[in-house]
Amino acid sequence: MADRAQQITLARNGHLSRPSLFKTLTGSAALLVVLLLTLGTVAAVASHATVGRGFTPADWAAIRFTVTQALLSATLSVAIAVPTARALARRRFPGRQVMVALLGAPFILPAIVAVLGIVSVWGRSGLISEGLTAVGLSPLNIYGFSGVVLAHVFFNLPLATRLILQGWMAIPAEHFRLAAELGFTSKDVSRQLERPMLRAAVPGAFLLVFLLCLTSFAVALSLGGGPRATTIELAIYQALRFDFDLSKAALLSLLQFALCTATAGATLALAKPTAFSIGLDHPPARWDGTERSTRLVDTILLLAVALFLFAPLVSVILRGLPPLFALPPQVWPSLLNSLLIAVPAALLATALALALAALITELSRRTGAAALLEAVGFLALAASPFVIGTGLFILLNPVIDPFKLALPITIAVNATMSLPFALRILLPALQRAEDHYGRLGASLGMTGLTLFRIAIWPRIKRAAGFAAGLSAALSMGDLGVIALFAPPDFATLPLTMYRLMAAYQMQAAAGAALLLVGTSLALFWVFDRGGRLDHNIR
């Protein structure tokens, strides 16, 4: 296999044709959108800044706290996600599909709903505390650093699991068959097949989770127990709102981008693309991991993860179910608006990711510029929604009333915010497809769209479906910029949910939250399924 890897590397480096004009144009356009919404909006905010103050000790404390909790949250999420994804990859049990689908749920919960869900299990009055007090022990107190990490693992463990599972599914089935024929044990499979795959998949997953935790605000604060849990994002909010210090907001934003770029550089340098040979696209099947002990470990792990993730979800469902059938009429148009945003945003995010991934794939045969492009693709995750909102406002307001553009702005911003995920999912798939079939197709005289349609698309379809599904679900649940630009007669479902809460109608809000989770999951399932149908492409 090492030989094979070398061949492929050689082939890669030897392939020195110029990127096609089409790929250069579309890739650059995608890049431009990302840069405008991230660095562009920061520049706009900075351009309106008067003399601001430098960082205070409190800001440095916020920076330290942010980085520490994000590192720990990401490490824990990925450390648990690896064995969980392995168990999901090699076990077949009733409900497995449902479990994989529900892995998308925690991730899309609005912050406030997730906090209430977590509290109902882990809080002072939660299930566990009730159990503890019933047997005479003192209740749990999660508020503090542990609460922040707990919540972030709850949010991100499922995402990391899905991303790594994707890597497992990409190992050609023939490899596992060969391994079985050669009498490989689980350990051998792990060394020969799984570790190289993890080397490629884990850094990206870690990076995504790290960046998500980096920009956390409401969750970190409310479970962190107080201002000790101040994140950079909260400091940005304070600069924009409490101090009206635009220069500090811009500085803090730049710091987030720098952290993002540094972490992206470090993790992506660790990542080593897999060099599995071409398979025949058989559906994956496994012959390993049949030892009784591994079966037991997998079962216990899956049960524990399911309990950890789904107990707060069950509480969200139980709370939301009764009011679901008597929702205020305003909920329905806002659901429609959310769909009108989520579907185009998902398609746009996938298109942007595909354009960027195509350019990166072409470039990686030539230069290290690809690595830079890949890092830029993550920038949007480190962007503060408040800075994007304020920056866009400064940019657009002299030209056109931003409120008239609430819908397209939200679609564009949501698509860009989802881009890092879509790119992370699509890029490995596209690189594999290009490596394995790009030259073969080219040698058969296929070019451009024909090559893409016949040789490439069928092999990245599943990843594209997953990417679009995740983007759609993310856009559904996002409050982000719409809260800043919503005209009075326009609301999305998350916005309506927050408005209900602000009007004391917590029960109706719980119903709206359940509707939100349900439709987001359904949307995710539809796209994800769309990429999966007839995945048996032989």
Q: Which of the residues 31 through 90 are near other proteins (CB under 8 A)?
A: 33, 36, 40, 48, 58, 61
The full length of the chain comes to 538
| Interacting residues with other proteins between 464 and 523 (CB under 8 A) | 483-484, 486-489, 491, 498-506
State the binding string over 413-452 for other proteins (x if CB under 8 A, else -): ----------------------------------------
Choose which of 104, 196, 204, 344 interacts with other proteins (CB under 8 A). Answer: 344
- Shortest approach of other proteins to residue 383 CB, angstroms? 16
Residues in contact with other proteins, total (CB under 8 A)?
72
**C-alpha dist (Å) from residue 233 to 153, 218, 253, 260, 268:** 19, 9, 8, 13, 24
Q: Return the residues of window 359-398 that contact other proteins according to CB under 8 A.
A: 390, 392-398
From the CB of 238, what's the least distance to other proteins, in Å?
A: 4
Site string for other proteins, 126-165 (x = CB under 8 A): -----------------x----------------------
Q: Which of 104, 106, 123, 172 binds other proteins (CB under 8 A)?
A: 123
Q: Least distance from C-beta 169 to other proteins, angstroms?
A: 33
Amino acid at residue number 296: L
Question: Could you tell me the CA-to-CA distances from 148 to 60, 239, 515 in Å, in that order?
Answer: 19, 23, 26
Whole-angstrom Cα distance, residue 247 to residue 250?
5
Q: In whole angstroms, what is the distance from residue 260 CA to residue 309 CA?
A: 27
Q: By CB under 8 A, tell whether 318 contacts other proteins.
A: no
Q: Which residue from 406, 426, 464, 481 is in contact with other proteins, where contact means CB under 8 A? A: 406
Whole-angstrom distance, CA of residue 216 vs CA of residue 384 = 10
- How many of the other CB atoms lie within 10 Å of CB of 360? 25
Based on the shown chain and the rule CB under 8 A, indicate whether residue 404 belongs to the binding site for other proteins.
yes
Estimate to the nearest angstrom the gap between the alpha carbon of 122 and the chain centroid.
25
| Consecutive H or E run containing 320 | helix 292-324
3-class DSSP assignment, residue 384: coil
CB of 143 or CB of 257, closer to other proteins: 143
By the 10 Å C-beta count (0-12 exposed, 13-18 middle, 19+ buried), 399 is classed as exposed
Best CA proximity match to 319, nearest among 109, 105, 113? 113
**Nearest distance from residue 227's CB to other proteins, in Å?**
5
The residue (of 243 and 291) whose beta carbon lies closer to other proteins is: 243
Q: List the interface residues with other proteins, window 190-249 (CB under 8 A).
A: 217-218, 221-228, 234, 237-238, 240-242, 244
